[in-house]
Amino acid sequence: MHIDFYVALAGLIVGFTVGLTGMGGGALMTPILVLLFKIQPLAAVSSDLVAAMVMKPVGGSVHMRRGTVNWALVRWLALGSVPAAFGGVFILRQLGNGTQVQDRLKVALGVALIAAAASIIVKSLIQLLQARRREALIVSGRMPEVRTFRLRRIPTVAIGVVGGAIVGMTSVGSGSLIIVSLLLLYPMLASRELVGTDLVQAIPLVAAAALGHILFGDFQLSLTASVLLGSIPGVYLGARLSSRAPDGLIRPALVFVLLASGLKLLNMATGMLAVTLAVFAMIGLPLWGVIDAVNRPDHLWRLAGLRKQPWVLLQVAGAPFGIGFGVALAYFASARRRLAAAAALAFVSVWGDELPAA
């Protein structure tokens, strides 16, 4: 069995990102294998899913011990996702043979990566708006309404079916796509329970998809072993540093990487890709910074010793000229961290990710 240490290094980087943010996984490893190492898409998907089957229980077991798993949701999601993930492999087989199926899989993978990038943005925006409403109620002296959990069986199974099929075909979505669907369907779930449930439901989902690819895909033991050699220590190191990670800077970077990979897999020309990504970065990051800054309440800005108006105006006015991009980087790397610390001091979590677990 041949171990590719360059693939192991890529696995280390991806594993570190997953441990740091809880996101990435197949959405990063599969396109790296295809675009950088020129692995055939089917082999990359198959091997990445088998590697994920080994890694998923690690994160899930932590949440099981902490009691942050909604087992009713896990069961109903698995009811749809497990057969759908296994069936996703058969859908691939119906797409054609040889070069034809590889080309079609590249397109499906590219679309899935762009959807994953969009899901990260949607998830962040939903969490921002939810937490902003809670904060406004607390500041006004009212307690946020506590909504009781009520299982919605048919929509939950439907999420499992769609998510399972996508994962079975592309290895993307067991975390990024399904967690956004759960967030929309069950907004009353706490962030820790949402993440724990998503991690645990991904264990049978990925196992079913991996089994399908072992039997009918293009599983390569040496490639999977190379990925695991780097990703196992990478996940561990990332998890150890996750509490100090500048999440506000990591999320936009992850969106950028997923978008770039997705567009490249869709065969966008290199020159056009560079222009598209440059425009996206120059406009998108300042826009996200403005949304974040505007939704930070005034009393937190005062508590942090910062002024809201200059940060907002500099990002808005400077965006068309590239200046806003630099200001946005400074905002996420410095000002946002001070605002997050002020939110913690005020016992108010604006994004839902600043306060430590109780």
Per DSSP, helices labelled H in 95-190 are: 99-139, 153-170, 176-185
Q: Retrieve residue 179's tokens.
A: 């967690």
Do 344 and 123 form a contact (C-beta atoms < 8 A)? no
The C-alpha R_g of the chain, in whole angstroms, comes to: 21
pLDDT digits (tens, 9 = 90+) for 151-187: 999 999 999 999 999 888 888 877 677 888 888 888 8
What pTM does this model have?
0.74
- Report the pLDDT value the prediction gives residue 358, as an integer from 0 to 100: 37
Residue 96's pLDDT is 66
Amino acid identity, position 38: K
Please report which confidence band the pLDDT of residue 336 belongs to, taking 50, 70 and 90 as the band edges. confident
Give 96-120 pLDDT, tens digit per residue. Answer: 666 777 788 888 888 888 988 888 8
Q: How far apart are CA 215 and CA 202, in angstroms?
A: 20
